[in-house]
Structure 1
């Protein structure tokens, strides 16, 4: 039985270089997107998600404040409001995913 030879005879393996894959052309972005740019782009794509997040945070903060002050009825109401705001946020995320999936279809 013959032993297999090298795959590319005459070309030594260089681990400092990426492998050459036939039919694959890597593209390197010349301008990487920063946090601020990505945040603004995502907010423009689906503005309901940040609104829901802010509503959730506001209801939680005010509910904790009311709990600290001893207003248990208002604190309970704000915790229920927080749950509704979280549900709104999750629905906005799912709606945004569905919309982007439909938009990317050919």
Structure 2
């Protein structure tokens, strides 16, 4: 079996530039969007996910508040509510992924 020859790079690599990969685009959209624009676009595409996140945060916050005040029964109820809200959020993410996968690409 012959030994492989020395490897020489075809093009010099510039560390300040990202590598060029044929057929790969770093962004799907032509122009880059800010965090606020991306957040609003994603919220419009699947509004149930932020709603589930807010519900989860609210149940957790109120449950911790009740725990701090010594209301253990209400705190346990809020922790169970938090689990339900988390499940709702996960289900919303999965449904949103399924809907976007079924959309025709143009």
1:67 matched to 2:67? The reply is: yes
Task: Give the greater-gyration-radius structure (CA).
Answer: 1
TM-score by length of 2: 0.74
Q: Which whole-Å deviations, capped at 9, do the CAs of 1:62-94 have from their partners, x for residues lacking one?
A: 000000000000000000000000000000000
What is the root-mean-square deviation of aligned Cα atoms in Å? 2.8
Q: How does 1:22-61 map to 2 (within 5 A)?
A: 31-61=31-61
Q: Distance in 2 between matches of 1:19 and 1:32?
A: 18
TM-score between the two structures when normalised by the length of structure 1: 0.74
Aligned to 2:12: 15
Distance 1:20 1:63, change over 3 A: closer
Task: State the alpha-carbon separation in 1 of the partners of residues 67 and 74 from structure 2.
Answer: 8
Relative to structure 1, the CA distance from residue 55 to residue 25 in structure 2 (aligned partners, 3 Å threshold; closer, same or farther) is: closer
1:104 is paired with a residue of what secondary structure? coil
Q: How many residues align?
A: 92
